[in-house]
A and B are shown apart, each in its own frame.
Chain A
Amino acid sequence: MTILEKLLTEIRQGGTLDTRKLAVQLNTSPQMVEAMLEHLRQSGILRTYESCDDACGGCSLRQSCGSPKSGKPVQLWQYVQPH
């Protein structure tokens, strides 16, 4: 099984996955996982949700959703079931 297929298998199993853990599981770098996720998104296999909107002001997960420190919004990737 190729690295991309392994990634897709992990995603198909569902749940919340962490890019760094996925990288360890796939014996690659988090950057490689991110690149593949981006590729799958462009291919329409994954959908991405960026950050939370202003409604999350009081939420304790707010920082995780869009880290003001890094300035980089944490992306949430959702697997799209093929029809």
Chain B
Amino acid sequence: MSDCHSAPVKTTAQLVLRDVSLPLIALAGQPNMGKSTLFNLLTGLNQHVGNWPGKTVERREGIFNVDGDEWRLVDLPGTYSLTANSPEEVIAREFILREQPAVVVAVVSAANLERSLYLVAELAALDAPVVVALNMMDVAEQEGVCVEPHVLEAALGLPVVPMVASRSEGVRELLCVVQEVLSGKRLIRPHSAEVSADHYEILQKIEELIAGYVPLPYPENWVALKLLEGDVEVARMMREALSPSAWEVVQVVLRAHDDAFMAVASGRYEWIGRMIRAAVTRPRIGQIGLTERVDRWAAHPFWGLVLLAGILGLVFWLTFTLGTPLQGWLDGQIITPLAGFAADALAGAPFWLRGMLVDGMIGGVGSVLTFLPILVIFFAAFALLEDVGYMARAAYVMDNLMHLMGLHGKSFLPLFLGFGCNVPAIMGTRVIDSWPARLLTILIAPLVPCTARMAVVAFIAPVFFGVNAIWVSWGLVLFSLLVLVSSGALLNRVIFKGQRSAFIMEMPLYHIPNARTIGLLVWQRALSFVKKAGTTILAMSLLVWILSFLPTGDMNTSFLARFGQLIEPVGKLMGFDWRLTVALITSFPAKENAIATLGVFFGNSAGSGLADTLASTFSSASALSFLVVTMLFIPCMATVAVTKQETNSWRWTLLSVFMLLGFSVTGGIVVFHLARFLGL
């Protein structure tokens, strides 16, 4: 043995197929553990590649020479376990049981032993002589994972050889150990995993029932274990091996313990846990410690929500404090003078052309573009929270809240997507299996305040509420969520009927934000907004202007005015005149159109900016009502289209539209009259 460890092992690969007289070595392991690297290293180019008999699974085999001794090497398919979940798993275990290799080399990853050892537990249960190749020691070291091979060897009762196959490190030592096992110098006495204690008697009973009937070469205890696990292949084999009455008795026992598969797996994970505790050390790194400390508050069921509300308030404060002056400056110094300049330059042009360009284009699109600074700050704040790793915590605590309210956990993720845009939120409901649950989520998803709605709030709130805009915006978001949660809880009680499900997410560690990542996110979102302003909003602004110009050239007698006056009675209940009512309706193609339409109506009147004109035209009660209605109003055209696509039903789509219309009109009427009562 000492010679073996001191001298290099010479290996020579040859293309000699299936010489059954040679010692047979099998390479087993999960995918991506370096098994193929090791196989190629040992056999070189001289290997035979074919298929396993009757299967499309690749079979690789080669012969190599170690110090003059020839060994046959078979690369088994990569498998996570040896239960009949896949053809690969059946091939691997049938090969080990039928061909009985002299040694099975189990290639495991030192960086993720928790996952790798399950297969080792199964191999040990097969009574196969297993040698563990502890590969990827370099990766483990890089990740700060310390594995002690000797301790692991003692705990497993199997030889363990540390190695880095990609650098050919440890290969010589591995072959030495295999040689020792082949020569009988090293005996293997595995410390096998046991089924959990509460199912031990059942396992024994199954063993007694099948004793003497198990076909060779299958070990009886292994077959009993696989029957408990519910292995379909083994069950089929034993159904044929036993008499119908004996098989029925086995079936009765198995049916009475249909949770036994958990007991078997539990036993193996308890065993893995013991191995890990013995041999693996994962030093706590500072970043994890910081994350855990912060998460005690950020992910706390109550304080997490308080923190989220605080952060949301802070984002609005920052947005308005920095963004509103910039918006005012753009409006007063760029858009209004630009409109004046354009009007002067086009003095000789036809009246309709001047009106369309000055009032329609600059008034509409220009007004929307003035709140680009507000949106950039808003996007930057959220990009920062996202990059730091906070947004996943926001999702986590929100879901807890929703569960308290009785809303279904499955619905949470798509709903959260709605904060960006309602379209992916509705498409995201595809993760929900139950059709009623999915439908309900589709129905309530448009109540999540999307970025476009927040843009309207970001523009209107400071115009009417000044320094209190933060509280108004904050209150509007909470109000929307309250309506969502209330309607969701009500619908959940009626249709979900108390089903529970869980999403397990991996929360990223908190880390220092990257300026480039944030900049890129802000740039992408701002660009997308500007593109929208240049297409949808521009088209709608021009359409609104044309309808406000035709047929007389006077807005007050235009088609738009006639339409607005027709529906004005409903608008008046909410404190709107016909122009605000029309602005609301034009938000259907895109929510930001509401601002563009107001820009067309008021943008350049008497040389003052849109904000000043709006503030002097409407009361705060009307503005608050307008914001509430905007938050609850029928979703944009794209959302309605995707609702139709996902429900495949006009009936449900129209129900969604009319339900939200009902919510928004009722909300607007209540809020307007309440605000008037309070003297706003």
Contacts and interface: CB of A to CB of B under 8 A. Distances in A.
Interface of A: 2-5, 8, 10-22, 24, 28-32, 34-39, 42-43, 49, 52-53, 55-64, 67, 69-70, 74-79, 81
A32 B525 CA distance: 38
Closest 3 CB pairs of A and B: A59-B420, A2-B266, A14-B500
Contact of B399 (A15, A29, A53): A15
Contacts of B382: 60
Contacts of A36: 269
Contact of B417 (A29, A43, A59, A78): A59
Given A43-B265, A58-B424, A76-B413, A12 B502 contact: yes
A21 B280 CA distance: 20
A55 B396 contact: no
A35 to B, nearest CB: 4
Contact size class for B?
35 or more
B507 interface: yes
Contacts of B295: 21
B424 A18 contact: no
Contacts of A59: 417, 419-421, 424
A42 to B, nearest CB: 6
Contacts of B499: 81
Contacts of A28: 273, 276
A36 B410 CA distance: 21
Contacts of A18: 299, 396, 504-507
Contacts of A74: 505-506, 508
A79 B291 CA distance: 27
A37 B504 contact: yes
A63 B505 contact: no
A55 B391 contact: no
Interface in B327-346: none
A28 B392 CA distance: 22
A62 B420 contact: yes
Given A2-B196, A58-B420, A17 B505 contact: yes
Contacts of B502: 10-17, 77-79
Q: Is the interface of B mostly helix, strand, loop or mixed?
A: helix
Interface stretch (B91-99, B110-118, B359-367): B110-118
A52 to B, nearest CB: 7
B372 to A, nearest CB: 16
A59 B114 CA distance: 34
B503 A78 contact: yes
Contacts of A14: 403, 409, 500-502
B400 interface: yes
A16 B81 contact: no
Contacts of A5: 262, 266
B525 A58 contact: yes
Interface string B396-434: 100110010000011011001101110110011001000
B500 A52 contact: no
8 contacts: A3-B266, A4-B262, A4-B265, A13-B500, A38-B80, A38-B115, A42-B85, A59-B419
Interface string B84-128: 010000000000000000000000000011110010000000000
Contacts of B196: 2
Contacts of B385: 60
A73 to B, nearest CB: 10
A4 B423 CA distance: 38
B600 interface: no
A29 B505 CA distance: 15
